[in-house]
Amino acid sequence: MNLRAVIKNAYQALRQNTRRSILTMLGIVIGIASVITILSLGRGFETYTVKNLTATNEKNVAVDIVFSPSDYEQFESNKMRYFSDEDLKFIGQIEGVEKVAYVKADDKFLRIDLQAADKKISKNLGFVAGGKDAVEVGRTISRDDIETHQKVAIISRDTAKDVNPDVNKVLGTGIDIKGELYQIVGIYKGGTANLFDMTPDVKIPKTTYQYYANSEGNPTQIKVTIANDYKPSKVAQKVIKKLEKVGISRNFGEYSTFDMSSLTDGIGKVLKMLTFFISGIAGISLFIAGVGVMNMMYTSVSERVKEIGVRRSVGAKRRDIRNQFLVEGLMLTISAGVIGYIIGYLVALVISIFLPFKVSPDLFTISLTLVITIVIGLVFSITPANMAARKDLVEILR
């Protein structure tokens, strides 16, 4: 019996009992749709998160080497260097290092400690744009202040309250920022108390900060770009060893590395696990739907005992009968899987409109759907199909 005839046959048999077929398929459709929705969203979220964590768009992997001095004061006041040009030259000679460069300190946001009344409080330090920052009390920092490196600061109302409960008395007093005294000239509204709100609590002119804090030109980090085919962690270790021997400030602190890729790998893995876990739970519904398929196949077999007898008597072999019912089961589950995939994908697509990432159909989810539906079709149809094939011919023709 050729395949086309078998498939045509199975289609007719399923159409014969359209309502029962559709109801059985519904279970599979719902199961597949929920798994695909979760998987699509999960994978979209995973790529989105990992992409955001990996700031660089460079093809090669880069690792950052950080120098942590044992005594910060020494470096601040004595103007000692964390890394020297010689250090970079030495590192450049290490095997597996493609490029090495200073990391410019990200001056957008800094954490500073303020002495308020009797306790230390941690605040975000930001820089003014120059005359544009609105204040509630006092004056804002002008372009002149910025150009002439004036030690002036504007602070948020919340910060002012921390310094002195009587906000009006704060104006004109000084605050200590990294060892320098800045005069508070204005108070602005400030951001909310949200943990993730990055609105600075204290704003000062950037030029002034750089002039006194001397952070530019003395980076605490270097970025080592790893050549292809080298393991980032190994090369980073070599770099650190080298620095510990020849680094300019090797006696005044420690070198360490912060490997971003391992972090993103880890987060990616956790997200993946989470996605699979939730999909697994959704997959339980698929199992139940599979039992529904089995139930239907058993009913179908016992309803069609006469047909089985007729087919066998005209020359159908046992495997012809078994294949007939297997193909029916497979056709049911695979078509339900295809419908479920489309629905699941569409649902994910609609949900993703409200989310910052895109979902796209990929080979993995498509092949997963196929594999799951084929497995369900086979597993839950094989016993009814075998039962049909094993029926005693003389018994059923009686």
Partner 1 sequence: MLIRLENITKTYELAKQEFTVLNNISLNIAEGDFVGIMGRSGSGKSTLVNLIGFLDKKFKGTYYFEDKLVEQYTDDALSKIRNENVGFVFQNFGLIENMTVGQNVELPLLYAGISNQEKTRLVAESLEKVGLADFVGQSVKLLSGGQRQRVAIARAIVNSPKFIIADEPTGALDSKTSVDIMQLFTDLNTTSGVTIILVTHDPNLMAYCNREIRVSDGEVVL
Rounded to a whole number of angstroms, the minimum distance from the CB of residue 293 to partner 1 is 21
Nearer to partner 1, 180 or 307 (CB): 307
Assign 3-class secondary structure to the chain: CCHHHHHHHHHHHHHHCHHHHHHHHHHHHHHHHHHHHHHHHHHHHHHHHHHHHCCCCCCCCEEEEEEEECCHHHHHHCCCCCCCHHHHHHHHHCCCEEEEEECCCCCCCEEEEEEECCEEEEEEEEECCCCCCCCCEECCCCHHHHHCCCCEEEEEHHHHHHHCCCHHHHCCCEEEECCEEEEEEEEECCCCCCCCCCCCCEEECHHHHHHHHCCCCCCCEEEEEECCCCCHHHHHHHHHHHHHHHCCCHHHEEEEEECHHHHHHHHHHHHHHHHHHHHHHHHHHHHHHHHHHHHHHHHHHHHCHHHHHHHHHCCCCHHHHHHHHHHHHHHHHHHHHHHHHHHHHHHHHHHHCCCCCCCCCCHHHHHHHHHHHHHHHHHHHHHHHHHHHHCCHHHHHC
Show contacts with partner 1 in window 154-173 (CB under 8 A): none
Give the one residue of 1, 7, 246, 343 binding partner 1; rule: CB under 8 A. Answer: 1
Binding to partner 1 by CB under 8 A, coded x per residue (else -) over 11-50, reads -xx--x----------------------------------
Assign 3-class secondary structure to 28-86: HHHHHHHHHHHHHHHHHHHHHHHHHHCCCCCCCCEEEEEEEECCHHHHHHCCCCCCCHH
Rounded to a whole number of angstroms, the minimum distance from the CB of residue 331 to partner 1 is 16
Query: What would the two tokens of residue 387 be?
Result: 């039962």
Binding to partner 1 by CB under 8 A, coded x per residue (else -) over 252-271, reads --------------------
User: Which stretch, 5-13, 228-236, 277-285, 370-378, contacts partner 1 (CB under 8 A)?
Assistant: 5-13
Nearer to partner 1, 202 or 316 (CB): 316
Nearer to partner 1, 34 or 324 (CB): 324
Rounded to a whole number of angstroms, the minimum distance from the CB of residue 10 to partner 1 is 13
Show contacts with partner 1 in window 283-322 (CB under 8 A): 306-307, 309-320
Rounded to a whole number of angstroms, the minimum distance from the CB of residue 339 to partner 1 is 24
Rounded to a whole number of angstroms, the minimum distance from the CB of residue 364 to partner 1 is 39
Nearer to partner 1, 198 or 310 (CB): 310
Nearer to partner 1, 314 or 353 (CB): 314
* The CA-based dihedral angle spanning residues 364, 369, 372, 376, taken in that order and rounded to the nearest 10 degrees: -170
Rounded to a whole number of angstroms, the minimum distance from the CB of residue 283 to partner 1 is 35
Nearer to partner 1, 187 or 316 (CB): 316
Rounded to a whole number of angstroms, the minimum distance from the CB of residue 2 to partner 1 is 7
The letter for the amino acid at 201 is D
Nearer to partner 1, 33 or 308 (CB): 308
Rounded to a whole number of angstroms, the minimum distance from the CB of residue 332 to partner 1 is 17
Count of residues of this chain found to bind partner 1 when the rule CB under 8 A is applied:
23
Rounded to a whole number of angstroms, the minimum distance from the CB of residue 17 to partner 1 is 9
User: Which stretch, 114-122, 186-194, 263-271, 390-398, contacts partner 1 (CB under 8 A)?
Assistant: 390-398
Query: According to the binding rule CB under 8 A, does residue 358 interact with partner 1?
Result: no
Rounded to a whole number of angstroms, the minimum distance from the CB of residue 395 to partner 1 is 10
Which residues of the shown chain bind partner 1 in the complex (CB under 8 A)?
1-2, 5, 12-13, 16, 306-307, 309-320, 393-394, 397
